[in-house]
Amino acid sequence: MPRPIRATIDVSALRHNLAIVRRSAPDARTYAVIKANAYGHGLLRAARAFDSSEGFAILEFDNAVRLRDAGIGKPVLLLEGFFDVQEMRTAAALGFACALHDAEQVAMLDELAAGQRLDLCIKLNTGMNRLGIPASGLSAVLEALQDHPHVGSLTLMTHFACADEERGVAEQWHRFCEATRGVALSCTAANSAAILRHPQTHGSWVRPGIMLYGASPFADVTAEALGLRPAMTLASEIIGVQALEAGDAVGYGASFVAPRPMRIGIVACGYADGYPRHAPSGTAVLVEGERTGIVGRVSMDMLCVDLTHLPAAGRGSTVILWGQGLPADEVAAAAGTISYELFCALANRVPVVERE
Ligand SMILES: *Cc1c(COP(=O)(O)O)cnc(C)c1O
């Protein structure tokens, strides 16, 4: 029998979550965000599940090419644009729209071959201060790009820093609207949090990521409350059991000491599988559907769970680390991170199975 860990991707959950995007932003088209191997869910699997979305947003050039190789002809937006002239030419040849975030990229457009045109999303920095041209520089960039022989369509773009938080989008959205007033171009701004909470920002194209995968963009609202379904379930099995006396320690660093006699299960899942090493004792897991907690440090290939109150559990019992019945958001919060990071960290060595 192979090592029992596996990630199950529920394709119907992916489709369901896209339907929630549709319902939340009925007047916008959707760039389903499938960067980072579709947040760990599998690039082409996700692209197929999201075949009713109008386009895809992605970051890695080679993966964008894989979409075309797989026969996917719909709009593809490269969220960080092109990094060199060769990529720019290939982007134009394959019809990838590119985020354009600095003046150097404008100058590079002259290197396109005769007749080549590139679709561009002009990314404005409206306050996140990551990528983007300053809002005050938009008119100069527009002047350079409108009627440019190598420019195809133009779209206005920005990205929100706090759409999921109390602070919201008001300041950034105000700057965006001020800077783009009177510019008759389509626009794209909303990530998952803005799709769900800030409908004024939906614009022509929305860019959902995390919600498609069934996790919540908000710290204070569960995915379930948003009607989302978890798409990834990470599961494994108990491969050993230990009986502890009071005072016995568990795992590296002997960081957990049994306060009383305990029965613990050893699970074939560790940080080399993508489970967060920083998850503290008590972080929830499901053993045969019953909630319990991990004990001791997560090691590379194993972690330990408390079975003291689960006498029927033992070698071969199914353990769910996150997903069906246990939100990744909850596990992530316990480990001081967000579900995005758990999904993206799913290791290559974990076999993935697909469920319709
Ligand atoms: C990743 C990303 C998104 C998706 O964000 P979520 O919070 O996962 O919905 C949208 N836009 C840009 C520019 C991104 O980089």
How do residues 72-113 score in pLDDT, each as one tens digit? Answer: 999 999 999 999 999 999 999 999 999 999 988 999 999 999
Distance 340 CA to ligand 1 centre (A): 10
Confirm if 5 and 351 have CB atoms less than 8 A apart.
Answer: yes
The per-residue pLDDT for range 135-179, each reduced to its tens digit, is 889 999 999 999 999 999 999 999 999 999 999 999 999 999 999
Q: 119 with 152: CB under 8 angstroms?
A: yes
Beta carbons of 20 and 45 less than 8 angstroms apart: no
Alpha-carbon span 69 to 300, nearest angstrom: 36
pLDDT at position 104? 87
Neighbours of 174 (CB within 10 A): 12
The minimum-distance atom of ligand 1 relative to the CA of 159 is: 13
Atom of ligand 1 nearest to the CA of 192: 9
Mutation pick for ligand 1 pocket among 24, 30, 33 (CB with most ligand atoms within 8 Å): 33
Neighbours of 347 (CB within 10 A): 14
Distance from the alpha carbon of residue 208 to the mean position of ligand 1, in angstroms: 6
Work out the average pLDDT over 280-301. 98
**What is the model's pLDDT at position 103?**
84
Q: Is 205 helix (H, G, I), strand (E, B) or coil?
A: strand
Ramachandran angles phi, psi of 200, nearest 5°: -65, -15
Task: Count CA atoms closer than 13 A to 244's CA, side-chain side.
Answer: 25
Ligand 1 pocket: which of 207, 329, 340, 341 to mutate (most atoms <8 Å of CB)? 207
Calculate the CA 142 to chain-centre distance.
31
Q: What is the mean pLDDT of the chain?
A: 97
Confidence of residue 331 (pLDDT cuts 50, 70, 90): very high
Q: What is the CB < 6 Å shell around ligand 1?
A: 33, 35, 79, 159, 191-192, 207-210, 217
* Residue range 28-75, pLDDT digits in tens: 999 999 999 999 999 999 999 999 999 999 999 999 999 999 999 999
pLDDT at 333: 98
Sort 308 into a burial class: Cβ within 10 Å, 0-12 / 13-18 / 19+.
Answer: middle
Q: Report the distance separating Cα 197 and Cα 23, nearest Å.
A: 13
Tokens of 183: 């510019």
Confidence of residue 17 (pLDDT cuts 50, 70, 90): very high
User: For 60, which DSSP code?
Assistant: -
**Catalytically active residues, by annotation:** 35, 252
pTM, two decimal places: 0.97
Res 64: pLDDT: 98
Distances, alpha carbon 114 to alpha carbons 89, 224, 326, 347, in Å:
11, 52, 55, 43
DSSP string, 63-93: HHHHHHHTT--S-EEETT--SSHHHHHHHHH
Query: Rounded to an integer, what distance in angstroms lies between the CA atom of residue 182 and that of residue 164?
Result: 29
Q: Using the atom order of ligand 1, give the atom closest to the CA of residue 210.
A: 8
First vs last C-alpha separation in the chain? 24
Calculate the dihedral angle through the C-alpha atoms of 99, 129, 185, 151, rounding to the nearest 10 degrees. -30
pLDDT at 1: 77
Give the model confidence (pLDDT) of 204-257 as tens digits: 999 999 999 999 999 999 999 999 999 999 999 999 999 999 999 999 999 999
